[in-house]
């Protein structure tokens, strides 16, 4: 209002006048600024409790459109099987009251062999849904037109879309697919390059566990829950990296994915790993504790072996419990049921 009285925004309101009165005297902002007493008096005279009663007495009734919405019966949410936005996630499927014993990870394959500074944006679904992506195919199969694909963020309530967008970043570089960019990896049988999601599903159908090999600062950048949820739903059982971003490491444990760290001075490259080995991680079945050292055997295609140690990056006793329960969600639910 002061700027409009002055007729310009190019003015120093503290030192320049807003204008002049009929006697030619300069009038400053401080001259027309109301005192606290004037403000309080105006509020008391203008703002009445009746105004709020009129506006808010029926605030929970809603308008006619709200009142006309069908209301399902029962205390539980009724999932719409045709929805491509919201779908019941499988985190509690076949959940038993007691967790199954954790076993060694035997004969695992590398789903992706990644380098340094892989961010959560590289891992998690983000941005628009590419027309050639597995997520796009899923939507097309359900009658969604390309113009209605929307973005991953809008469909984060549908795990089928989100898991298909995991490791699908167009800037991801997988050393198993040298010379390419994007979320591709060799088919387990034919070695033809396919999407990481499709390869993950083949491994899961065959009952073959998978792991991720990575370099330094795995999971750096902004914390994204789907950077841990996505790999979990793709069947990834462990990540072996040189180092981790602290929140992402915690998120992996919270989803029941085992974060393992190469010993100081070692890496996948220094050990001579190509990513085509078959990995067995020993010592899990004996019981885990924070920062326990495990042994890994990588069997090469020629039958020879590479043996190396890793540190379990489960850093606290509570995280040990989360991992034993296959993640924090089953852990919390079991505690609620048992209590």
Q: Indicate the pLDDT class of residue 96, thresholds 50, 70 and 90.
A: very high
Q: Indicate the pLDDT class of residue 217, thresholds 50, 70 and 90.
A: very high
Q: Indicate the pLDDT class of residue 17, thresholds 50, 70 and 90.
A: very high
Q: pLDDT tens across 138-175, in order?
A: 999 999 999 999 999 999 999 999 999 999 999 999 99
Q: pLDDT tens across 166-194, in order?
A: 999 999 999 999 999 999 999 999 999 99
Position 270 pLDDT exceeds 90:
yes
d(CA 220, CA 248): 7
Calculate mean pLDDT across residues 306-315: 98
Please report the pLDDT score of residue 59 as a whole number: 85
Specify whether domain 96-129+163-338 bears CATH 2.60.120.10.
Answer: no
Handedness of CA 219, 224, 229, 234 (dihedral sign): negative
Look up the pTM and report it: 0.81
Residues of each domain in the chain carrying CATH 3.20.19.10: 96-129+163-338
Please report the pLDDT score of residue 55 as a whole number: 85
- The mean pLDDT of the chain is 95
d(CA 21, CA 3): 17
Percentage above 90 pLDDT, the chain: 91
Q: What are the tokens at 2?
A: 């002061």
Position 93 pLDDT exceeds 90:
yes
β-strand pairing of 210-213 with 236-241 = parallel
Please report the pLDDT score of residue 61 as a whole number: 86
C-alpha distance from residue 77 to each of 67, 72, 73, 114, 311 (Å): 19, 8, 9, 40, 42
Q: In which region does residue 141 sit, left (phi positive, over 0), alpha (psi from -120 to 50) or beta (all else)?
A: alpha
The pair phi, psi for residue 82, each rounded to 5°, is -90, -5
Calculate mean pLDDT across residues 197-221: 97
Please report the pLDDT score of residue 334 as a whole number: 96
Calculate mean pLDDT across residues 61-82: 90
Of the listed ranges 7-16, 63-72, 303-312, the one predicted with least confidence: 63-72
Are the CB atoms for 180 and 174 separated by under 8 Å? yes
Q: pLDDT tens across 218-239, in order?
A: 999 988 999 999 999 999 999 9
């Amino acid at each position: 209002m002061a700027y409009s009285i002055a007729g310009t925004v190019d003015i120093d309101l503290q030192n320049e006048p807003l204008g002049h009165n009929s006697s030619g005297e300069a009038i400053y902002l401080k001259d027309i600024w109301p005192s606290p007493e004037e403000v309080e008096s105006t509020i008391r005279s203008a703002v009445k409790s009746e105004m709020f009663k009129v506006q808010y007495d029926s605030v929970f009734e809603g308008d006619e459109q709200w009142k006309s919405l069908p209301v399902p019966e029962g205390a539980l949410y009724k999932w719409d099987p045709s929805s491509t936005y919201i779908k019941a996630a499988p985190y509690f499927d076949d959940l038993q009251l007691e967790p199954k014993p954790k076993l060694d990870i035997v004969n695992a394959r590398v789903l992706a062999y990644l380098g340094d500074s892989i961010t959560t944006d590289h891992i998690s679904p983000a941005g628009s849904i590419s027309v050639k992506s597995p997520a796009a195919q899923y939507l097309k199969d359900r009658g969604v037109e390309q113009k209605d694909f929307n973005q991953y963020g809008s469909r984060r309530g549908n795990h089928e879309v989100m898991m298909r967008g995991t490791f699908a970043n167009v800037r991801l570089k997988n050393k198993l697919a040298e010379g390419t960019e994007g979320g591709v990896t060799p088919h387990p049988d034919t070695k033809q390059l396919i999407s990481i999601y499709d390869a993950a599903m083949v491994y899961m159908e065959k009952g073959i566990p998978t792991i991720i090999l990575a370099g330094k600062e795995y999971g750096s950048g902004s914390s994204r829950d789907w950077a841990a949820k996505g790999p979990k739903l793709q069947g990834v059982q462990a990540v072996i990296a040189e180092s981790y971003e602290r929140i992402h490491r915690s998120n992996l444990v919270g989803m029941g994915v085992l974060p393992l760290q190469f010993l100081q001075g070692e890496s996948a490259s220094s050990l001579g790993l190509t990513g085509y080995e078959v990995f067995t991680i020993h010592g899990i079945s004996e019981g885990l504790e924070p920062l326990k050292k495990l042994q890994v055997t990588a069997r090469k295609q020629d039958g020879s072996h590479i043996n190396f140690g890793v540190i379990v990056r489960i850093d606290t006793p509570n995280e040990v419990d989360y991992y034993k329960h296959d993640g924090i969600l089953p852990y919390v639910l079991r505690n609620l049921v048992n209590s």
